[in-house]
Structure 1
Amino acid sequence: MELNRLRWAARRGMLELDLILSPFVENVYSSLPEREQQLFEKLLECEDPDMFQWFLHKGEPEEADIREIVVIVRSHATNAGG
């Protein structure tokens, strides 16, 4: 996905998600292997309330691929102080 479209897709209806996803797009996404980039794009198709729960460690995605990218995003959010 083109970077500008990805930035737009990462903007959500919840500030908490914006604070996790936008910095990830700006600082991490381009350095990911292609497979993980595709997983991130797939993650952006998920519902906001689900992502919110996953990033707050209050639930886990059922799908293994989504779990994998959630762990990656969480680790970068934690390392960035988020």
Structure 2
Amino acid sequence: MSTPSVDDALLDERALSKLRWRCRRGLLENDLFIERFFARHASTLTARQAEALGLLMDLSDNDLLDLLLGRRSPEGPLAHDDVVAVLGLLRAARSVVH
């Protein structure tokens, strides 16, 4: 059995806490997507997914919302498989009902 790479390692509590803080947004709509995403996936997030999420968090609130709502598709560095996968998880979290 092979050892998982560092990128596939689960985030520890400190890294998860820092990521949650970094993901705070100015638009309520974005915060709702992100809150539901963390409710569903926090315990299974990997370093690779955290890095991809960080790239999405570098966007302006409106650009992020356009991606979350499917108004736009990821382009350039955001068209990377990891970013697209995390975006899919964020979009799927929209359907989570509390």
Which of structures 1 and 2 has the bigger CA Rg? 2
From the superposition, tell whether residues 33 and 5 of structure 1 become closer, same or farther in structure 2 (CA, over 3 Å). closer
One-letter code of the match for 1:15?
A: L
Ranges of 4+ aligned residues in structure 1 off by more than 6 Å = none
Q: What pairs up with 1:16-55 in 2 under 5 angstroms?
A: 16-55=29-68
Residues matched between the structures, number: 81
Please tell me whether residue 14 in structure 1 is matched to residue 27 in structure 2.
yes
The whole-number CA distance in structure 2 between the counterparts of 1:35 and 1:8 is: 18
Partner Cα distance (1:34, 1:2) in 2: 9
Question: Displacement, 1:24?
Answer: 1.5
CA gap of 1:29–1:45, structure 2 versus 1, over 3 A, is: farther
Shift of 1:17: 0.4
- TM-score, with normalisation over the residues of structure 2? 0.67
Q: Does 1:68 align with 2:81?
A: no
Confirm or deny: 8 A CA contact 1:29 1:37 kept in the other structure: no
Q: Deviations over 1:19-63 (max 9, x none)?
A: 011221243133133322221122212221111001111111102
CA contact 1:13–1:48 (8 Å) conserved in 2: yes
Q: Which runs of 5+ in 1 are unaligned?
A: none
Please tell me the root mean square deviation across aligned C-alpha atoms, in Å: 2.2
